[in-house]
Structure 1
Amino acid sequence: MLGVVVAVFFLLRLVPGDPARMILGERATPESIAALQEQLGLNLPLWQQFWDFLTQLVTQFDTGDSLVTGTSSRLLIAERAPVSLGIVVFAVVLAILIAVPLAVAAARNRDGWADHVVRILPTVGMGMPLFWIGLLLIIVFAVQLHWFPVGGVGSGPGEPLRSLFLPALAVALGLAPPLIRSLRAQLIEVFEADFVTTFRAARVPERRILGRHVLRNAVLPTLTLLSVSTAYLIGGTLVVEKVFGINGLGTLLFQSIGSRDFPVVQGVALYCAILVVIVTTVAGALAALLDPRLRTTKGGRS
């Protein structure tokens, strides 16, 4: 995580554009620009800026105050993070609800029409940029059908879910295709296993075989893929927020990049890195719960 923030710190300094000049505008005098640079500490040597940044990060867990508003970047992120986190969680749930039924239908009807359709859909979905998916959802479900609102998050009963549904669906439609492919392949492999043949010979109901045995064995690689896709998931959420006009971390990030608000950009990068670590850890814990072979015994054996 620290490596990500350090990399962002130095990369931001390579981007053309002076934060002081952007804050004051094009008509600012050299004297006023120099005064603001001194006030913000931008005239210090780069190593000194980095040391001050690192000290504040370690002691206060804060990447500094916004150069534009003067507000702590930690507070700005805390205001926006719940919305972005809601989209991430909602998108994962929707992606699973999309991927599992389609993968099961394809695996149970291998080489049938359902399998062919399911194999084509992920290819189409993976070839579409997220902002196009978002725009299509807005046109169909918000503009034409008026089913969902666009722009901001409502505060009435059930309004937050309605407001976040389309953004989460856009991210889910981008996340689901690789999950469908992975789960379909694993399901086909498990369906052909000897223990499934034994269960069928014993006349165990197909639904019970699928729910208790096949899915449990097939879902582990897909769960690993989901954890690996966390970076895409978070990046997609930031992009989709901009498309839907939602005031989350994505909007904050793009605004901060445009104004060269270094502390806020660094704070968002740190938050996203922490989120990646958390999701990966949770996915590993779930995999261990589903597969006892992944658990470590008290004696140190797997």
Structure 2
Amino acid sequence: MAGLTLGRPGAGRRGPRFRGGRPVGRVVRRAARALPVVAGVVVLTFLLLHIIPGDSARQVLGNHATPEQVARLRQKWGLDRSLAEQFGSFVTRLVTHGDTGNSLFYNMPTRSLIVPRIGVTLELVALAGVFCVLLTVPLAVWAAVRKDRLPDHLIRVIPAVGAGMPALWLGLLLIIVFSVRLHLFPVGGAGPGPWLTFRGLVLPAFTAALAITPVLIRSLRAGLLEVLESDYIAAARARSLSEPRVLFVHAARNAVVPMLTLLGLNLAYLVGGTVVVEQVFDIDGLGGLMFQSIGNRDFPVVQGIALFFAVVVVIVNLLTEALSALVDPRLRSRA
């Protein structure tokens, strides 16, 4: 056992030279590779919104408007032009003014509608991520150390059942139990001030977290089971290190990288999937605004929110890669 070292595999010997270049260069290259994704989101969102049936002018004016009134409003908004001309105007506006134009329904810049709602949506996603970690790590560790026993089976089955519940039904259930019955959290909305905002976001964030926690638990559990069978874990136990230190310092550090990747991907998905959660809990965020804008066929607002979501997804993926490389230095050698 003397030849074995504690910590990560390969510790105690000189590691390979990193070939990924400087950290800033790696980030720039990965961000550049993500630009086509953002551009694809812009194009697809524009096309899909113009393909679905309905008329924005008719939606704003109402069913009693005359065809002449609808035609004049369509001409004012440029909706009577060809799809290529509309797309060209949209891209020009995006490049020159940094927004997607004026809202057709509210008659104000989309930036004025989107920016005030960004904070609460990001807070919701961030709190959901915290809940994911707080649920995943202890449950996955417990399942790994109790492999094929009752706790292991329960931990794998119960979260999966929760994930199979629709967010609408699960959110209403949490409201009935923790808001109506126990009066621990507000029924809906995020009040002013940090404390009231936090209390208002606990239930929606927990609802969102339950949807992605089972896959994270399975990933971390599988990684821990593989790591716990390695030689350096046996060496750590042979040196009479405490079991919590073996699990959380030596084993978890090497098993957590795949879970971090999955967490980043699911948080990126969650950023664009807050529509139902925000509607259930009456959160005045981007999800609720997108839901209303789709119903109103307010093209510029929907396009602006979709573009923001795409940029956030790219940023979350970049941060996930950086954090994974920080936890496991061997990943820094990847270009």
TM bracket (short chain): over 0.9
Cα distance, 1:156 vs. partner?
A: 4.2
Q: State which of 11, 22, 35 in structure 1 corresponds to 2:59.
A: 22
Is 1:103 the counterpart of 2:131? The answer is no
* Cα distance between partner residues in 2 of 1:200 and 1:231: 38
Q: State which of 132, 154, 157 in structure 1 corresponds to 2:169.
A: 132
* Cα distance between partner residues in 2 of 1:120 and 1:235: 27
Deviations 1:198-224 (A, max 9, x none): 111111111221222111000001111
Q: State which of 145, 149, 157 in structure 1 corresponds to 2:182.
A: 145
Cα distance, 1:230 vs. partner?
A: 3.1
Alignment of 1:212-251 (within 5 A): 212-251=249-288
Identify which range, 143-152 or 218-227, moves more after superposition. 143-152
> Which residue identity does 1:96 align to in structure 2?
V
Cα distance, 1:152 vs. partner?
A: 2.0
Contact 1:130–1:236 under 8 Å retained in 2: no
TM-score if structure 2 supplies the norm length?
0.86
Deviations 1:249-279 (A, max 9, x none): 1110010000000000000100110110011
Contact 2:127–2:202 under 8 Å retained in 1: yes
Cα distance, 1:150 vs. partner?
A: 2.2
Cα distance, 1:236 vs. partner?
A: 3.2
Deviations 1:165-185 (A, max 9, x none): 111000011111110111111
Contact 2:103–2:110 under 8 Å retained in 1: yes
Q: State which of 255, 273, 283 in structure 1 corresponds to 2:292.
A: 255
Tell me the residue number matched to 1:164. 201
Alignment of 1:1-302 (within 5 A): 1-156=38-193, 158-296=195-333
Q: Provide the secondary structure at the position in 1 that maps to 2:273.
A: helix
* Cα distance between partner residues in 1 of 2:195 and 2:163: 31
* Cα distance between partner residues in 1 of 2:92 and 2:272: 28
Q: Provide the secondary structure at the position in 2 that maps to 1:158.
A: helix
Tell me the residue number matched to 2:19. none
Gaps of 5+ in 1: none
Contact 2:93–2:100 under 8 Å retained in 1: yes
Cα distance, 1:157 vs. partner?
A: 5.4
TM-score if structure 1 supplies the norm length?
0.95
Contact 1:230–1:280 under 8 Å retained in 2: no
* Cα distance between partner residues in 2 of 1:91 and 1:159: 17
> Which residue identity does 2:258 align to in structure 1?
P
Contact 1:122–1:178 under 8 Å retained in 2: no
Contact 1:19–1:259 under 8 Å retained in 2: yes
> Aligned-pair RMSD on alpha carbons?
1.3
* Cα distance between partner residues in 1 of 2:187 and 2:264: 29
Give the direction of change, closer, same or farther, for the CA distance of 1:5–1:15 in structure 2 (3 Å limit). same
Identical counterparts, % of pairs: 55
* Cα distance between partner residues in 1 of 2:156 and 2:137: 14
Contact 2:142–2:152 under 8 Å retained in 1: yes
Contact 2:114–2:286 under 8 Å retained in 1: yes
* Cα distance between partner residues in 2 of 1:148 and 1:194: 48
Cα distance, 1:30 vs. partner?
A: 1.0
* Cα distance between partner residues in 2 of 1:157 and 1:193: 45
* Cα distance between partner residues in 2 of 1:17 and 1:101: 50
> Which residue identity does 2:317 align to in structure 1?
T
Paired positions, count: 298
Identify which range, 1-10 or 154-163, moves more after superposition. 154-163
Cα distance, 1:46 vs. partner?
A: 1.2
* Cα distance between partner residues in 2 of 1:45 and 1:37: 12
Give the direction of change, closer, same or farther, for the CA distance of 1:125–1:232 in structure 2 (3 Å limit). farther
